[in-house]
Structure 1
Amino acid sequence: MDPWLTLAVVAGMVLAGTLLLNAIGARVKAEPLIAIVRAGLQLAALVVILKLVFTSMWLVLGWLFVMIVVAIVTSTKRIGWSREVLAAAGTAISVSAIVTVGVIVVTGITGRDPQHLLAIGGILIGNVMSITSVTAKRLREHLQESRDEIEGMLALGATPRQAAARFRGLSVSHALIPTIDSTSTTGLVTLPGAFVGALFAGSDPMDAGLFQLVVLGSILFGGAIAGTVLTQLLGAPKVLPQPPREAEEETAES
């Protein structure tokens, strides 16, 4: 690939997309452009770092730790910064990554070398971060929209955890919809990156397919763990979030 031509085409596509989004009133401003520039710089740094990381398993584990920390901070900012959210997101993402990668390493279904561990861990952490953020935001929306129902159950003697039980499950299921849809259409609608990357690296198509299957399974498993842990920690609030209109009016008054 010609690096300069690649950069020019990618920049042109993102610029056109940004202009289109702003033209229809999406109000994204320059966020897509900033995101792609950050991605380019971070990938360039990653290329340099990986040349060093692949020489040591300890360096790989250290890099995965950095990825987990960044994922926790990013998810917390997306949900809404607070100590409670930071603790919940941190626990959900960490437990999910450790348990899922641990299962893969212990069973030995992929190689235990630095390359396989970093590939699986990196893909998993990124997807779990997204599932964590969406789960929390959906949970908050459900609690806001169904505040009257929850307060009615509380008045009848239910505990906060009992009153919000239905909405915890709904939040996780909604957050997993894109993952489940993407998994169920793999090979027909989507051509997954891990599979293509393995083929480009010279792997046998069978091995590439099995590796992709491990990736998909780990994302579903890890996402289920993260969603469950997060909703258990945030899904029984003593103080319910205000409905959107009331929250906006209170903000305007202050």
Structure 2
Amino acid sequence: MTPFVTIVAVAVLAAITLAVVLALRLEHPWLQPWAVLRAVVQLGILSVILGGVISSRWLVAAFLAVMVIAATWVVYRRLRVDARFLLPIVGTVMAASAVPLVVVFATGAVAFSPRYLLALGGIVIGNTMTVCTLMGRSLGALYLSQRDEMEAWLSIGATPRRSALQAVRSAASTALIPSTDQTRTTGIVTLPGAFVGAVFAGASPIQAAQFQIVVLAAILAAGALTAASFTGVFGAPEVLPLDERPLGGRRAPSVSRAPHRIGP
């Protein structure tokens, strides 16, 4: 496949996406084509950089650190949280990604080489970012929709964390649905990228399947750890919102009725 053919195919697919989004009158109709353009530019730069990175574990580690920072920034911008939550989000992404990677390489399931470290690390970090975003958005909406129920718990002496327990569980379950469904339907509905890439690289289908199973298990473990960490950070809200507002924010929304403060 030549670069020209690739560009043509991507341009046509982006145009189809834009046409459908405009026809449906969705919010931010240019967001998807812009994402495609960014992916083209970023992957082009990445392809050049990886030529000098892939042979060094230290350079790969540095590159993964950049990924963690970028993932944190995406979550921060998506959820519009206070700046005081930046470090907890960084810690969540790092810890939830590191634990599965340590298990995979410590057990010898995958050889500890720069190539595999970069591939597996990038996949796990990306999934952690997605779970953070999905759980954060769901949690913010549930705090609003379940406000009355949470106030009832508080009125009988429950702690903020106990009053938010049902909302947190629902948000965590929602955030884990994509990775869970991907794992359940692998080989039936989808052919995962890691499996296809390994086959194209010359691995046998059995070897590719072994690698893909490890990847899927690492993704699920990272997602569960992300949900647990996110629960610790955002699972005891300081105020109950009256309308949509940044998750974990302290400031009351500009309405006539003040939000219910449940922190000290």
- 1:128-152 Cα shifts (integer Å, max 9, x gaps): 1001110111111111111111111
- Report the count of equivalent residues: 250
Whole-Å separation in 2 of the counterparts to 1:237 and 1:81: 12
1:194 aligns with 2:194: yes
Whole-Å separation in 1 of the counterparts to 2:27 and 2:138: 22
- 1:50-109 Cα shifts (integer Å, max 9, x gaps): 111112110010000000110011011111131243233222111101111111121121
Whole-Å separation in 2 of the counterparts to 1:151 and 1:109: 48
Whole-Å separation in 1 of the counterparts to 2:27 and 2:174: 25
Partner of 2:71: 71
Partner of 2:129: 129
Partner of 1:138: 138
Whole-Å separation in 2 of the counterparts to 1:27 and 1:166: 30
Q: Which letter maps to 2:206? A: M
Identical-pair percentage: 38
Q: Which runs of 5+ in 1 are unaligned?
A: none
Partner of 1:24: 24
Counterparts of 1:158-237 in structure 2 under 5 Å? 158-237=158-237
Q: Which letter maps to 1:87? A: L
- Offset, 1:19: 1.6
Partner of 2:242: 242
Counterparts of 1:29-108 in structure 2 under 5 Å? 29-108=29-108
Is 1:136–1:231's contact at 8 Å kept on the other side of the alignment? no
Partner of 2:262: none
Q: Which letter maps to 1:149? A: E
Greater fraction helix: 1
Q: Under a length normalisation based on structure 1, what TM-score does the superposition of the two structures give?
A: 0.94
- 1:9-58 Cα shifts (integer Å, max 9, x gaps): 11111112112211121133322221111101110111111111112110
Q: Which letter maps to 1:111? A: A
Q: Give the ranges of 4+ consecutive aligned residues of structure 1 lying more than 6 Å apart after TM superposition.
A: none
1:153 aligns with 2:146: no
Q: Which runs of 5+ in 2 are unaligned?
A: 246-251, 257-264
